[in-house]
């Protein structure tokens, strides 16, 4: 009898431990791009007065939403619901606003549909590997305990992430992954942009919610990078920012 009670207690304990982890579901991300900081970067002596007027008429942030469906085998990141107060005009045409990213964790592959300027690319490549550095800072995001990590993209662009080990999938928004748990927040200061999880739904995603993107010119990540770099090489100091957006 004691052995039976002991086994029941052990099974209960194991089930409680497993229950605290999430293995599938949907994350809604809010992306905020600081338009005012972008305008500041474009100001020069001969256009400062005009640009200040433009800035005064614009909201500080361009806000958009993305859905991230996942399980332990694959994930899909794609545009979500419409913003309640969308930004109009050239400042509303935010880079990477149409990105769709499919990740296959078992095969270590990624397929991403990206509209860049007038051309749509279909990136087919291995999952990107970043050299993440784990930090001590902790914060709570959508009810999950998250730890800070930092890395670099494009040789010099600083990325700050907060991930949770309570979601047992090494994914995140855009093409970011590789941490010991789900990334629930990303900040890229040089793009004046942040992605943060507003909520996590643990319902299993449907097959149609994990549909692989198919449209676009098939390229590797490097081929797309070289194409974009060649297109914007004469844009001066604004060229690199366009490239950074393209490789997200």
Q: Tokens 């949907």 correspond to what residue?
A: 26
pLDDT value for 89: 60
Q: What is the mean pLDDT of each run of 10 residues along the chain (248 residues)?
A: 43 42 96 89 75 84 95 97 76 81 96 91 96 98 97 95 97 97 97 97 94 95 88 70 85
Backbone angles phi and psi of 101, in degrees to 5: -125, 120
DSSP 24: S
Strand 193-201 to strand 182-188: parallel, antiparallel, or no bridges (unpaired)?
antiparallel
pLDDT value for 176: 97
pLDDT value for 54: 81
pLDDT value for 16: 39
Question: How many other CB atoms sit within 10 Å of the CB of residue 210?
Answer: 17
Please tell me the pTM assigned to this model: 0.88
């Amino acid at each position: 009898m004691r052995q039976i009670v002991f086994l029941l207690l052990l099974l209960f304990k194991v089930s409680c431990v497993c229950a605290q982890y999430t293995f599938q579901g949907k994350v809604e991300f809010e992306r905020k791009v600081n338009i005012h900081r972008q305008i500041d970067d474009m100001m020069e002596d001969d256009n400062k007065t005009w640009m200040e007027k433009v800035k005064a008429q614009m909201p500080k942030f361009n806000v958009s939403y993305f859905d991230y469906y996942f399980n332990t085998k694959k994930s899909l990141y794609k545009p979500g619901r419409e913003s309640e107060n969308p930004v109009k005009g050239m400042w509303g045409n935010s880079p990477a606003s149409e990105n769709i990213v499919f990740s296959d964790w078992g095969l270590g592959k990624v397929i991403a549909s990206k509209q860049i300027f007038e051309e749509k690319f279909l990136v087919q490549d291995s999952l990107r590997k970043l050299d993440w550095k784990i930090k001590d800072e902790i914060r709570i995001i959508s009810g999950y305990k998250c730890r800070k990590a930092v890395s670099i993209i494009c040789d010099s662009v600083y990325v700050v992430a907060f991930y949770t080990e309570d979601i047992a999938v090494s994914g995140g928004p855009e093409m970011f992954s590789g941490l010991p748990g789900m990334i629930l927040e990303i900040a890229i200061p040089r793009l004046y942009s942040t992605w943060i999880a507003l909520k996590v739904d643990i319902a299993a995603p449907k097959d149609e919610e994990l549909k692989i993107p198919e449209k676009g010119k098939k390229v590797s990540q490097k081929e797309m990078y070289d194409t974009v770099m060649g297109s914007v090489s004469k844009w001066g100091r604004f060229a690199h920012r366009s490239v950074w957006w393209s490789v997200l």
